[in-house]
Amino acid sequence: MKKEKVQERIIRVASDLFYRQGFNSTGINQIIAEADIAIGSLYNHFTSKNDLLQAYLIKEETEWFKGFEEHSAKISEPKQKILSLLDYRKKLQKSSKFGGCHFIKISAEVGDSSPVVSDFVKKHKGKQKEMIRTLVNGYAESKKEFDADLTTESIFLLIEGAVVSSTINKNADSFDQIQKMIEVQLP
């Protein structure tokens, strides 16, 4: 087993704390204690808590897209690939015990007080939408009179709504409901 580097451990611990208890409720001293490092080690790798927040967002984004790629790697049929995105988001919600989207949570907490975070989250959600657009365009190639833009927007919003609903209700029922809605849009 590969030994975890100090920087990786700091990011892992901070990520867990930021997600579970919130960025503002997580102190540097708690991160240092739970990562079992000296204060100097933290500041050797990160100049501030906001710098650490940036690393957290980059890590989560990288893992999100890599996770979907691995989840859907064996699927080539466009409609099934789109539906696999629902399965992936449902899986993320279940594995986090319906804790919600990392990006929505940090945006709600930090909001406009940090344009850097706000911009990162907007770009991340934009990348998700573009990924959906690519999947929908792959599906639309074989269809006549198909509104790929409207379908992309609809699928994106349905998935985001399902994430929020499943977080509130602490179950995955909303994903089952939107699967039916998306299947109607993709005959």
Contact between residue 50 and residue 114 where contact means Cβ atoms under 8 Å apart: yes
Map residue 101 onto helix, strand or coil.
coil
Q: How far is CA 129 from CA 49, 56, 63, 147, in A?
A: 29, 21, 17, 15
Instruction: State yes or no: pLDDT of 96 exceeds 80.
Output: yes
How far is residue 143's CA from residue 31's CA, in Å, rounded to a whole number?
52
Q: What is the dihedral of CA 51, 54, 60, 61, to 10 degrees?
A: -150
Using 50, 70 and 90 to split pLDDT, how confident is the model at 143? confident
Which pLDDT band holds residue 12 (cuts at 50, 70, 90)? very high
User: Is residue 43 within a helix (H) or strand (E), and if so which, with residue range?
Assistant: helix 39-45
At 1 the pLDDT is 58
Residue 4: predicted pLDDT: 79
Dump strand ranges (E) for 85-171.
none
Domain ranges of the chain: 57-185
Q: What are the tens digits of pLDDT across the range 172-181?
A: 999 999 999 9
pTM: 0.89
Which H or E element spans position 94?
Answer: helix 78-95
pLDDT of residue 2: 64
Q: Is 136:82 a contact under the CB 8 Å cutoff?
A: yes
Amino acid at 186: L
Looking at residue 116, its amino acid is V
Task: For residue range 29-87, list pLDDT tens digits in order.
Answer: 999 999 999 888 889 999 999 999 999 999 999 999 999 999 999 999 989 999 999 99
Predicted confidence at residue 146, as pLDDT, reads 83
The answer to whether residue 168 scores a pLDDT higher than 70 is yes
Phi, psi of 90 (to 5 degrees): -65, -45
Q: Confirm if 31 and 13 have CB atoms less than 8 A apart.
A: yes
Quickly count helices (H) and strands (E) in the chain: 9, 0
| 3-state SS class at 79 | helix
- Structural contact between residues 162 and 178, judged by C-beta atoms closer than 8 angstroms: yes
Helices 102-110 and 6-21: angle between axes, nearest 10 degrees: 70
Q: Are 108 and 114 in contact (CB under 8 A)?
A: no
The domain covering 57-185 belongs, at the CATH homologous superfamily level, to: Tetracycline Repressor, domain 2 (1.10.357.10)
